[in-house]
């Protein structure tokens, strides 16, 4: 149960960072176009990448334990950098969300989200490398991975369908600043747990 909860928390904290993929999901939710398919595509993509990371890292860890230590420190460094980036974005001020554009066909919408997902190095770092490395620190990496997958499904569908409720909030730059500060704090807390462990 602890492994699952840790995976869920890690998955949610990593995925909540507003990047190109999440901004697109949020925009689709705000304009209410193809929300279900966009959310499902993102969640299934994350699930595939997380499972790849959890299974791949476990096999590598048994063959080369020194590599896990290197991944742990690399993951901590990345999280520290990512947190600093969020704090910097908060300091510089958040940009208000301005959804524009009209309806686009489902195939074109899925092509865009596929590119934002599979061609984004941060998605690979977060899911395959970081979640995979963190999962290796837990006694049941597969259960940790399942928690992270659950976090992805919960987040994407909540973001897509909850966007209309968030529209008034994220129309204000201050909301983006608060979100970036929270993201930075979470990233640094996860980094600290990796370093101390």
What are the structure tokens assigned to 108, written together?
């074109």
Instruction: State the angle between helix axes of 35-63 and 2-15 in degrees (0 to 180), rounded to the nearest 10.
Output: 120
Write out the chain's pLDDT in tens, 197 residues.
Answer: 777 877 777 767 667 665 668 878 887 887 788 999 999 999 999 999 999 888 886 566 667 777 667 767 877 787 788 788 878 878 887 555 554 445 689 999 999 888 888 877 677 777 887 888 888 778 888 888 898 899 899 999 999 999 888 778 877 778 778 877 877 887 788 778 777 76
The structural domains of the chain, with segments of one domain joined by +, span: 2-196
**Would you state the pLDDT for residue 109?**
92
Structure tokens belonging to residue 101: 């554009």
CA distance readout (Å), 134 to 43, 75, 119, 165, 185: 20, 8, 23, 33, 18
- pLDDT, residue 115, reads 86
The pLDDT of residue 94 is: 57
Residue 95: per-residue pLDDT: 55
Residue pair 10/131 in contact (Cβ under 8 Å)? The answer is yes
What was the pLDDT predicted at 48?
93
pLDDT value at residue 163: 86
What does the pLDDT read at residue 150?
92
Number of neighbours of residue 153 by Cβ within 10 angstroms: 17
Query: Which residues, at least 6 apart from 152, have a Cβ–Cβ distance to it below 8 Å?
Result: 11, 15, 42, 43, 46, 47, 50
The per-residue pLDDT for 103 is 66
pLDDT attached to residue 107: 94
């Amino acid at each position: 149960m602890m492994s699952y909860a840790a995976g869920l928390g890690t998955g949610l904290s990593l995925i909540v960072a507003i990047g190109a993929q999440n901004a697109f999901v949020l925009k689709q939710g705000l304009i209410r176009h193809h929300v279900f398919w966009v959310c499902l595509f993102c969640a299934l993509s994350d699930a595939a990448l997380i499972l790849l990371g959890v299974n791949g890292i476990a096999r590598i860890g048994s063959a080369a334990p020194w590599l896990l230590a290197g991944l742990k420190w690399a993951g901590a460094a990345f999280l520290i950098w990512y947190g600093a980036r969020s704090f910097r974005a908060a300091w510089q001020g958040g940009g208000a969300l301005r959804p524009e554009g009209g309806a686009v066909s489902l195939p074109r919408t899925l092509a865009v989200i596929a590119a934002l997902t599979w061609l984004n190095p941060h998605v690979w770092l977060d899911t395959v490398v970081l979640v995979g490395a963190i999962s290796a620190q837990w006694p049941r990496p597969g259960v940790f991975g399942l928690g992270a997958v659950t976090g992805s499904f919960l987040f994407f569908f909540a973001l897509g369908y909850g966007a209309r409720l968030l529209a008034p909030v994220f129309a204000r730059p201050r909301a983006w600043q608060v979100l970036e500060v929270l993201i930075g704090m979470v990233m640094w807390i996860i980094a600290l747990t990796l370093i101390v462990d």
